[in-house]
Amino acid sequence: MAKPIRHADPRGFDDTKVWVFDLDNTLYPASCNLFAQIHDRMGRFIAERFKVAPEEAWRIQKRYYHKYGTTLAGLMTEDGIEPKDFLDAVHDIDYSPVPPSPELAAVLAALPGRKLVFTNGSRGHAERTMARLGVSHVIEDIFDIVDANYVPKPAHEPYAKFLAAHGVDGTRSAMFEDLPNNLKAAEALGMTTVLVGPGIAGDPSYGEISGWTALPDHVHHITDDLTGFLQARQKLG
C-alpha cells in the first residue's frame, strides 16, 4: 500500500493519558490471519445450527455481518442465538500463529498512562491472544462485546459505554484500530486516532485504504507497524 499523505491537522499525544487498543489485526499483525480460523468456525457454527450447506452458511454469515456489523448481532436479532454459545465456538482456535512480542510489551509498558483493550471479540479471546503476545501484564483491562451489551463497533453506543465504564476522557486518550470506520466514533468523542493498516486483502476496508491519497478527517495517523510507531512517538517525546 502506498502511504497516504499525513492528516492536514494531526493530533499529537502530549495530553494522552489513556491508550486504547483494538485487539484483532491491531495488537497482533494481520498476517497472523486468526480471522481465517474465526470465519471458518463461524461458518461451521451456522451450518451445524441451521443444518445448511457451507455455501449457504457463508451467505448468512456475510449478510448478517454487513447488515448488523457482526455476524453475532444478526444471529441474536433474527434467530435468537445465545451469544455465549457462538462466542465460545468461534474463538476455539489455534493461537500459535501469534508470535510472542517482547518488543511490543516493552513499548506498551513505557507508555505514560493507562492501557486498555476495546474489542468486538470476547474477553476470553482477548486474554488468550494477549497471553500469546506476552502483553497481559501491561494491559489494565479489556472491554469486550459482552461489556458492550453485544452492540459492536462502529456504533456510537459501545464507545460511550467504554468511556463511562473505565472513566476515560476521550479528549485525553488515543485509539488504535485496524478498521477505519471504527475510528469515526472515537474521533467524534475527541480521541486521537491511529489506523493500524492496511489489514487483510479481501476485507472491504482494504480497498478503501489502498485508494486513499490523503487521510480522512477521522484518521489522524496511519501505520503498518504498531511497535515501531509507538517507539518513534516515545523518542519524539
Average pLDDT, the chain: 90
pLDDT confidence bin for 1, thresholds 50/70/90: very low
In the structure grid, which three cell numbers stand for residue 151, read together?
Answer: 452492540
CB count, 10 Å around CB of 33? 13
Q: Looking at the DSSP assignment, which residues form a beta bridge with residue 173?
A: 18
Out of 117-126, 135-144, 163-172, 203-212, least confident range: 203-212
At residue 201, the pLDDT reads 46
Q: Is it the case that residue 17 has pLDDT exceeding 90?
A: yes
Long-range contacts of 75-82 (CB under 8 A, 24+ apart): 75/46, 76/150, 79/50, 81/49
What is the mean pLDDT of the segment spanning 126-144? 98
Cα–Cα distance, 54 to 210 (Å, whole number): 31
Task: Find out whether 194 and 229 touch, Cβ atoms under 8 Å.
Answer: yes
At residue 212, the pLDDT reads 77
CA dihedral 23, 28, 34, 36 (to 10 degrees): 100
Closest CA to 112 of 192, 191, 16: 16
Chain segment 68-112, per-residue pLDDT in tens: 888 999 999 999 999 999 999 999 999 999 999 999 999 999 999
Alpha carbon 84 to chain centroid, angstroms: 20
Q: Is it the case that residue 124 has pLDDT exceeding 70?
A: yes
Task: State whether residue 237 is helix, strand or coil.
Answer: coil
Q: Is it the case that residue 216 has pLDDT exceeding 90?
A: no
Portion of the chain with pLDDT greater than 90, in percent = 78
Task: Find out whether 160 and 186 touch, Cβ atoms under 8 Å.
Answer: no
At residue 12, the pLDDT reads 84
Out of 60-64, 209-213, 222-226, least confident range: 209-213
Q: Is it the case that residue 230 has pLDDT exceeding 80?
A: yes
Listed ranges 29-33, 161-165, 204-208; the one with the highest mean pLDDT = 161-165
